[in-house]
Structure 1
Amino acid sequence: MNGKVTTTRTKLERGRSALGPALELVHTGRAPTRAVLTSELGVTRATAGAVAAELEALGLIRVDSSPGSAAGSQGRPSHRLAVRESGPVAVAAQVHSDGFRAALVGLGGRLVATAPGCVTITADPAQVIGEVVDDCARLLRDSGLRCVGAGLAVPSAVAEPEGTALNPLHIAWPAGAPVREIFATCVREAGIAGPAFTGNDVNLAALAEHRHGAGRGAQHLLCVATGHRGVGGALVLDGRLHSGSSGLALEVGHLTVNPEGRPCHCGGRGCLDVETDPLAFLTAAGRAPGPEESLLKQSGDLLRNEYDDMAVRVAAEELIDRLGLGLAGLVNILNPDRIILGGLHRALLDADPERLRAVVADRSLWGRSGSVPILPCTLDHNSLVGAAELAWQPVLDDPLGALA
């Protein structure tokens, strides 16, 4: 009798320990059916069925009541799995030089709702973060959905373990602003349930793209992006962000790509940060930055709509060459198996993909022996989705414990 009880308890514990890995497989789209889930977890069909049923009971996933099979597939039909559309959400917020945005993000990286972005960023981080959290709370109230936590993306390296914005160069916040503490306080005072997290915007964009977008399946993923101002980078190794010893790794914006170039905020000259961002492109093209339109949108529209203009094309080629030089250096150091580009860099890749790939291949040791795929980021608002990933992580680690 004792042996039977022990066996039953062992099976139960094994099933519960598989809840987190199973949820992550469904969350990232790697287990579309219960048969795939069984194979990926390395468990019996009965255990996989019990795990799926438990996740469904928690309101996280949906299991089709009748099994089906994809057209042309062979073997026994299997129950399809999907995230539950009416399930819990994470609150996500992003601050950048041209404003901020709030969102609700469900499992699977699905944007459930977004609030119109604010366009004024003051020098007071507490005021700005308080306003974006107010928008988050409003979205949450209107949705009526359960919240698992909150995440904030900021345009600065976030020092660990303090959670301070070390170098918010393109917004007027003081260096060392305690953004994590401010965000957590605002979230708590707004009555938003769950833990609060803060991270660098490009790091979070890379995390989102690795789980749900252009970086899915890469083992050593390099992400380089220019948003509204400046350039950021991130590295995802075996599914985890490489943040360095104190959260400050991959400050790629301060690689020198033009020694005689523009002065940089860091004190250097000709850094990627000031040679390949939207302001650099508009300046090179001889266009004045619009007072009411974000630099990123203005640059993207110029590339898409006026690429035949000689000044625009020459400016784009200049930025592509500078960007390619920086990417080649990173390839030599990091040896990634995939590079993804976001913001204006994605638009530059779209404008002349062969030029950028040729520069990287010509200037990098590994590029000559085997080209590294360079792809555009594919997710809308990937930094917001990445901020939500921080809030979802405790649920992915332990669904029962996090939702109890």
Structure 2
Amino acid sequence: MSGKAGPRAAGERTTRARLDRGRGALGPALELVHTGRAPTRAVLTAELGVTRATAGAVAAELEALGLIRVDVRPAAAAGSQGRPSHRLDVAEDGPVALAAQVHADGFRAALVGLGGRIVATAPGCQTVDADPAKVLGAVVEAGAELLRTTGRRCVGAGLAVPSAVAEPDGLALNPLHLAWAVGAPVRRIFAECVRAAGITGPAFAGNDVNLAALAEHRHGAGRGARDLLCVATGHRGVGGALVLDGRLHTGSAGLALEVGHLTVNPEGRPCHCGGRGCLDVEADPLALLVEAGREPGPEVSLLQQANDLLLNQYDEPAVRRAAEALIDRLGLGLAGLVNILNPDRIILGGLHRTLLGADPSRLRAVVADRSLWGQSGGVPILPCTLDHNSLVGAAELAWQPVLDDPLGALR
């Protein structure tokens, strides 16, 4: 019997060797496909700096894990030159992360796949209980029902809350609009609810605007930005977040970018923080309604009432004056942040996105007039583009261990 290996065995050894060389590239490769930066195997090869054979082995392994899909037949883009390449995409029927969000007017659960794709959602209650365990138990159960209905594998769970979340213990330090106790251990409670529901994988928690910025940077209006500033107002208050060199900047204890407490109107409304005239109370949905002389109603959320006012009644003088007042205050706050942070892009979410759409030139002019950037062309100010971006960002927390080490996380 010959001591030489047959062609098939030699081929298998070659494939294993290529995969071994590329195993360290599995995470970076998955992130490239996840964020849409590697639509083909040729682009993946170039981005990873490996051979075509190694990139092929890496893509095949990710496909075997059920994470991505590789087109069987290579195809060239219309009008392109050169060799056709296999297209890559996330697997539509692959695993999901459970995402949960709690805000002043209720909660929402969702299943989110790779690529930031929302697979299913379930809205929740209109009144948030003062006991976080009851609320988080309810939103996790809603997510567990989605998992049972869809039959999807779950890699983990992430929670978005309208509060600064202090590290390393995951404490909600200022859940002002939820009536939760200051310092509620939301991460621990959420993790206990996830385990009690029989959901596998790690559990995480973070501030809702931080997570919105993370989602928009990977999948939305912030893609391609190096230093991204996100400012948003949802149901109550104003939040901010910063992505630096592609990573969410949370500071030494998770408390960075509390932009809601920038003073923009020294003679303005008292703020919950003890100050006066903060963005938090001068540029949120309640501020717009009050400024326009509207009495907030209980039927729908403050955010929806404020958005409806701008979209349907902007031509009314009182509404226009109120919008201009909020735009000027928001612009003043943004100008100060631009002078300090020097971002290459600003994205606005919630009511601020609607304000930008109502009068984009006014907001950009205020920021340019009040900041050093205005003397060098101005910083782009864009609307957020993702629906439920805080939910998508919460899912990103759960997906991160898989992006870091696909084999370790899934096997």
Matched, 1:181 2:207: no
**Residue identity matched to 2:65:** L
Matched, 1:206 2:213: yes
* Whole-angstrom distance in 2 between the partners of 1:23 and 1:339: 27
* Whole-angstrom distance in 2 between the partners of 1:222 and 1:371: 14
Matched, 1:80 2:64: no
For the Cα contact (< 8 Å) 2:15–2:57, is it kept in 1?
Answer: no
* Whole-angstrom distance in 2 between the partners of 1:178 and 1:14: 42
* Whole-angstrom distance in 1 between the partners of 2:97 and 2:176: 28
Partner SS, residue 46 of structure 1: helix
Q: 1:374 aligns with which of 381, 385, 391?
A: 381
For the Cα contact (< 8 Å) 1:123–1:172, is it kept in 2?
Answer: yes
Q: Which residue pairs with 1:398 in the alignment?
A: 405
Q: Which residue pairs with 1:19 in the alignment?
A: 26
**Residue identity matched to 1:141:** R
The 10-residue stretch of structure 1 (359-368 or 193-202) with the greater mean CA deviation from structure 2: 359-368
Q: Which residue pairs with 1:153 in the alignment?
A: 160
Partner SS, residue 157 of structure 2: strand
Matches within 5 A, 1:265-276: 265-276=272-283
Q: Which residue pairs with 1:241 in the alignment?
A: 248
Give the TM-score, by structure 2 length.
Answer: 0.96
Matched, 1:281 2:271: no
Matched, 1:133 2:140: yes
* Whole-angstrom distance in 1 between the partners of 2:19 and 2:211: 35
TM-fit CA distance, 1:370:
2.5
**Residue identity matched to 1:60:** L
**Residue identity matched to 2:269:** R
1:81-133 superposed Cα distances (whole Å, 9 cap, x missing partner) = 00011000000000000110000000000000000232110111111111000
**Residue identity matched to 2:360:** P
Q: Which residue pairs with 2:46 in the alignment?
A: 39
TM-fit CA distance, 1:350:
0.3
For the Cα contact (< 8 Å) 2:32–2:44, is it kept in 1?
Answer: yes
**Residue identity matched to 1:112:** V
| Runs of at least 5 residues in structure 2 that lack an aligned partner in the other structure | 5-9
1:285-306 superposed Cα distances (whole Å, 9 cap, x missing partner) = 1111111210001110110000
TM-fit CA distance, 1:369:
1.8
For the Cα contact (< 8 Å) 1:22–1:41, is it kept in 2?
Answer: yes
**Residue identity matched to 1:269:** R
1:117-167 superposed Cα distances (whole Å, 9 cap, x missing partner) = 321101111111110001010001101010000000000000000100001
TM-fit CA distance, 1:375:
0.1
Aligned length: 402
1:283-331 superposed Cα distances (whole Å, 9 cap, x missing partner) = 0011111112100011101100000000000000000000000000000
Matches within 5 A, 1:218-257: 218-257=225-264
* Whole-angstrom distance in 2 between the partners of 1:362 and 1:13: 56
For the Cα contact (< 8 Å) 1:98–1:121, is it kept in 2?
Answer: yes
Q: Which residue pairs with 2:271 in the alignment?
A: 264
Q: Which residue pairs with 1:123 in the alignment?
A: 130
Q: 2:351 aligns with which of 328, 334, 344?
A: 344
Matches within 5 A, 1:46-125: 46-125=53-132
For the Cα contact (< 8 Å) 1:331–1:367, is it kept in 2?
Answer: no
CA 65–11 in structure 1, closer or farther in 2 if over 3 Å, else same = closer
Q: Which residue pairs with 2:150 in the alignment?
A: 143
Matched, 1:28 2:41: no
For the Cα contact (< 8 Å) 2:157–2:204, is it kept in 1?
Answer: yes
**Residue identity matched to 2:22:** G
TM-fit CA distance, 1:14:
2.4
For the Cα contact (< 8 Å) 2:104–2:128, is it kept in 1?
Answer: yes
Q: Which residue pairs with 2:7 in the alignment?
A: none
1:258-302 superposed Cα distances (whole Å, 9 cap, x missing partner) = 000000000000000000000000000111111121000111011
Q: Which residue pairs with 2:322 in the alignment?
A: 315
For the Cα contact (< 8 Å) 2:19–2:58, is it kept in 1?
Answer: no
CA 54–6 in structure 1, closer or farther in 2 if over 3 Å, else same = closer
* Whole-angstrom distance in 2 between the partners of 1:277 and 1:236: 23
Q: 2:198 aligns with which of 187, 191, 195?
A: 191
Partner SS, residue 123 of structure 2: coil
For the Cα contact (< 8 Å) 2:18–2:57, is it kept in 1?
Answer: no
**Residue identity matched to 2:275:** G
**Residue identity matched to 1:31:** A
* Whole-angstrom distance in 2 between the partners of 1:327 and 1:367: 12
For the Cα contact (< 8 Å) 2:19–2:57, is it kept in 1?
Answer: no
TM-fit CA distance, 1:8:
8.2
* Whole-angstrom distance in 2 between the partners of 1:152 and 1:63: 31
Partner SS, residue 205 of structure 2: strand
* Whole-angstrom distance in 1 between the partners of 2:15 and 2:43: 25
The 10-residue stretch of structure 1 (159-168 or 6-15) with the greater mean CA deviation from structure 2: 6-15
TM-fit CA distance, 1:367:
2.4
| Runs of at least 5 residues in structure 1 that lack an aligned partner in the other structure | none
TM-fit CA distance, 1:25:
0.3
TM-fit CA distance, 1:11:
4.1
For the Cα contact (< 8 Å) 1:94–1:102, is it kept in 2?
Answer: yes
Partner SS, residue 233 of structure 1: strand
**Residue identity matched to 1:391:** A
**Residue identity matched to 2:381:** I
Partner SS, residue 282 of structure 1: helix
* Whole-angstrom distance in 2 between the partners of 1:68 and 1:7: 26
